[in-house]
Amino acid sequence: MQTLPPKTVLERKDLSVFRYDLNVRAIRLFEVGALFLLGLGALVYPLTHFEPRQWLVAPVVLGVLGIAVFCVSLYWRAFAKHAFVAFDREHLYVAVNARRVNAMAWRDFDLDNSGLKAPDAEGILTLTFGRQRIKLYLVCGFVHIPQFQTILGTLLSHIRDNLKSNGRTDGSEF
């Protein structure tokens, strides 16, 4: 596996690129929830004037929760903007941020390192190459790839071809 800059990958010929779509309703729900928590924290003082002093804890806790929920929505917005999945004849490319793309050779894929035997969650594959683990989000609550069937089909066909080239033609791995 190698790491490349996104610009280098996107300039390649014969590249199929798949971008993530943001689940706008879920993100807006998180943002409204964050605003509600921050507003509720701001209302504590006018209602209690921090008497007794224990009321000082409530706005701090609500404020921290509101900021944390808002940070989750910002993370997924940035993820959908910068992340992509692409492939060509030799490699699968997974970009999870704006600075690097992980390039994995198709010939190195098998059922164990593709995450197909034991997926972490529905719609998320954890690709394992050496010590490095890369989460490939096909479908999750905040983002999805509309053409995830194409990526999954291509991955399976390359794994099948790798099994055939290694002498396993009985399909026992599938």
Q: pLDDT confidence of 169, banded at 50, 70, 90?
A: low
Tokens of 17: 């690129």
Q: How many domains would you assign to the chain?
A: 2
Pair (118, 54) in one structural domain: no
Residue 174 included in any domain:
no
How confident is the prediction for the chain on average, in pLDDT? 90
Instruction: Tell me the pTM.
Output: 0.84
Q: Are residues 100 and 148 in the same domain?
A: yes
| Domain-located, residue 120 | yes
> Which residues span the domain enclosing 128?
2-16+87-165
- b/e per residue 94-115 (b: at least 16 CB within 10 A): bbbeeeebbbbebeebbeebbb
At 80-98, the pLDDT tens digits run 999 999 999 999 999 988 8
End-to-end CA distance of the chain: 24
Q: 49 and 74 in one domain?
A: yes
